[in-house]
Structures are given as C-alpha cells and as structure tokens.
C-alpha cells in the first residue's frame, strides 16, 4: 500500500510480505516502537533483513503499512438527522480507538515518527488520517445543507474544532480522554458552528 518503489511487484513473495506485517504488529505491541528492531522483525517473520530493506525504506513506513493493514476501510458515518448526536458518536469512537491497546502504541509511534520524517508524515496523513477526517467533514456538509451548521463555515476548520481538542488531550496526556469529554467537546464545537438565530426560524 505504501512502498515507495515497486521493483517488480509481481515477483514479490506474498508469504514474506504478510509475515513481516504480522511480525511488526506483534513486536510493536510487545516492546514498543522505540525498541522495535529490523533484525527482530526479520527474525520473527523468518525472513532475511534484505527482504525488509528491499520493500520499505525505513521503519516508519513499515509500521505505517502494518498499522494500515490492521484498520479496516473507513466506514461512512450514520446520519440520524441530529448532528450533535452523530458527532458525539464520532468523537466517542475516536477517543475509544485512541485509547484501545491495539491502536494506541502504533498511533503514538506514527505521530511521533512523523515529526522527524516529513515523508512519513505525508503518507500517514494521506493514508490513515485524512480519510477518517473526510467522512466527518462529509457529515458536516450534510448538516450545513440542512441549516444546522452556518453557511459560511470552512468545514476543514470545523473538523479541527471537533477533533483538535481530543487530539491535544490524548497526545499531551494533560487529562484522561473520557466519553464525557468527547460529548462536551462535540457540544461546544457545534454550538460555535450553529447559524445565528433569526427571528421566526427554528434550529
């Protein structure tokens, strides 16, 4: 999914490919990203180191691939007609995922590594993050058409208003990431986006 060059993908050993991704997931869970080693991955996967270096340029993109394989494709959001309720659902789900043991370690690792490697950052955002933000944005667009979100609002900003606070708290660990917090953020953010009350209209 994310290997930069594909010398001859037809010849690639699918068995090795899968074994490597599996080993990465296992090892990142066992020892964390910092202690993760190409040699250990190769050993666990029963693969030569060169086979890893042949297909991935660095540890970051390898972990990204392994992590991407873990996540299913982004599902579209439910639309109950109530944006606030729907956004609460989204943020609660996001918070839960960020704290789930399976996702937390690689998410933090990829976020961290992205700070040191802009190429990885781009790949990470494009592959994993943007699609997920996009479905939220889509839901907001519907809300905007329905008049629940003010017409002039830049929806990218709107999404950041919803997700940014959660992300800030998660990443900097300033406080626990509870479902209640998710609800609060959703309420505040959507309050900010609500169109101004006009006399004679109903929200």
Partner DNA sequence: CAATAACCGAGACGGTACGTCGCGTCTTGAA
Partner DNA sequence: TTCAAGACGCGACGTACCGTCTCGGTTATTG
Q: Which residues bind its own copies (CB under 8 A)?
A: 32-34, 108-109, 111-118, 121-122, 125, 129-130, 133, 154, 156-157, 160-161, 163-169, 171-175, 181, 184-185, 188-189, 191-193
Q: How far apart are CA 53 and CA 51, in angstroms?
A: 6
Note whether 12 binds DNA by CB under 7 A.
Answer: yes
Burial 26-35 (b: 16+ CB within 10 A, else e): ebbeeeebee
Note whether 8 binds DNA by CB under 7 A.
Answer: yes
Q: How far apart are CA 44 and CA 139, in angstroms?
A: 42
Distances (CA, A) of 116 to 2, 21, 109, 147: 18, 22, 11, 42
The distance of closest approach from Cβ of residue 40 to DNA in the complex, given in angstroms and rounded to an integer, is: 7
DSSP 147: T
Shorter beta-carbon distance to its own copies: residue 118 or 200: 118
Shorter beta-carbon distance to DNA: residue 48 or 131: 48
**Under the rule (CB under 7 A), what is the footprint of DNA?**
7-8, 10-13, 15-17, 19, 35, 37-40, 45-51, 53-55, 58-59
């Amino acid at each position: 999914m994310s290997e930069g060059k594909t010398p001859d993908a037809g010849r690639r050993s699918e068995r090795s490919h899968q074994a490597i991704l599996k080993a990465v997931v296992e090892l990142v869970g066992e020892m964390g990203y910092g202690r993760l080693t190409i040699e250990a991955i190769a050993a666990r996967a029963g693969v030569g180191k060169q086979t890893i270096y042949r297909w991935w340029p660095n540890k970051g993109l390898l972990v990204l691939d392994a992590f991407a394989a873990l996540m299913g494709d982004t599902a579209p959001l439910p639309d109950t007609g109530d944006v606030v309720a729907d956004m609460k659902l989204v943020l609660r789900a996001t918070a839960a995922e960020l704290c789930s043991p399976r996702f937390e370690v690689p998410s933090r690792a990829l976020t961290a590594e992205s700070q040191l490697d802009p190429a990885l950052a781009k790949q990470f955002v494009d592959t994993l993050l943007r699609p997920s933000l996009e479905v939220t944005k889509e839901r907001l667009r519907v809300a905007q058409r329905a008049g629940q979100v003010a017409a002039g609002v830049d929806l990218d900003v709107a999404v950041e208003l919803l997700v940014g606070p959660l992300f800030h708290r998660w990443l900097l660990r300033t406080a626990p990431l509870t479902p209640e917090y998710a609800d609060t953020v959703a309420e505040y953010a959507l309050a900010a986006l609500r169109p101004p009350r006009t006399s004679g209209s109903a929200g």
